[in-house]
Amino acid sequence: MSKHSSYSDDQGQSFGRLFGRERSLHNILGGGKVADILLWKNTKLSAAILAGFTTIWLLFEVAEYQLVTLLCHLLIITMLIIFIWSKAAGLIDRSPPNIQEIRLSESTCRHLFTNVNWFLFKFYEISSGKDLKHFFLAVSCLWMLSVAGTYFSSLNLSYIAFLCIQTLPVLYERYEKEVDYLATKGNQDVKKWYRKFDSNVLNKIPRGPVKEKKFK
């Protein structure tokens, strides 16, 4: 039997969605402007952000621009634009930007702090070893990331991560069925491997006797 026929037969079976999700990918990503950007619903804005990050990467990595120099030049250009705009507002019949529209809202700050607290809670929960599978998975991912860090600079890793965030969601949305099929098959193989590892290795690790607690 060929691989294509076996894939077609497996397609007839019911495979769950990736990570067992029930909501759409757009809702998982927040359902707002961020989700529209990541899924390229707003093509012009997504392309502009990608072009901006690519320009920054080229300036630092290819042109070897220094961070302090670039920040100072950007601030100087911004100050000159605001100065000219404020002084010539009467001539061009257009008011300068309002600082209240640029300020971060309280809801945005609360959302950022909520995500930070969630990350810290998950980090402690996984590090405590309550779930050995997640613990070994996190350690393995961090080790692979540290190995990649020896071959790539921090800027290159950040740019690669940005490209993944900017392209993988829209690719997954386009090829959702194929990815869910492969992910489900891979998850089944990983579970089989972990059961063998658990029975052949983890269960054979000697453990000390559990002391019974004495209640007064």
Tell me what pLDDT residue 30 has.
72
Name the helix (H) or strand (E) containing 194: helix 176-200
pLDDT at 153: 83
Flag residues of the chain having pLDDT under 50. Answer: 1-14, 210, 215-216
- What pLDDT, on the 0 to 100 scale, is given for residue 5? 46
Report the pLDDT value the prediction gives residue 4, as an integer from 0 to 100.
46
Angle between the N-to-C axes of helices 154-174 and 132-151, in degrees from 0 to 180, rounded to the nearest 10: 120
> What per-residue confidence (pLDDT) applies to 11?
46
Tell me the CA distances in angstroms from 17 to 25, 33, 104, 109, one per residue in order.
Answer: 11, 24, 36, 32
Report the pLDDT value the prediction gives residue 112, as an integer from 0 to 100. Answer: 83
Is residue 67 within 8 A of residue 60, CB to CB? The reply is: yes
CB atoms near residue 169 (< 10 Å): 19
pLDDT value of residue 106: 78
Query: Tell me, what's the pLDDT at 9?
Result: 47
Summarised one tens digit per residue, pLDDT across range 83-92 is: 888 877 667 6
Two tokens, residue 171: 């690719």
Instruction: Kindly report the number of other CB atoms within 10 A of residue 37's CB atom.
Output: 20
Q: Which tens digits make up the pLDDT trace of 11-28? A: 444 455 665 566 777 777
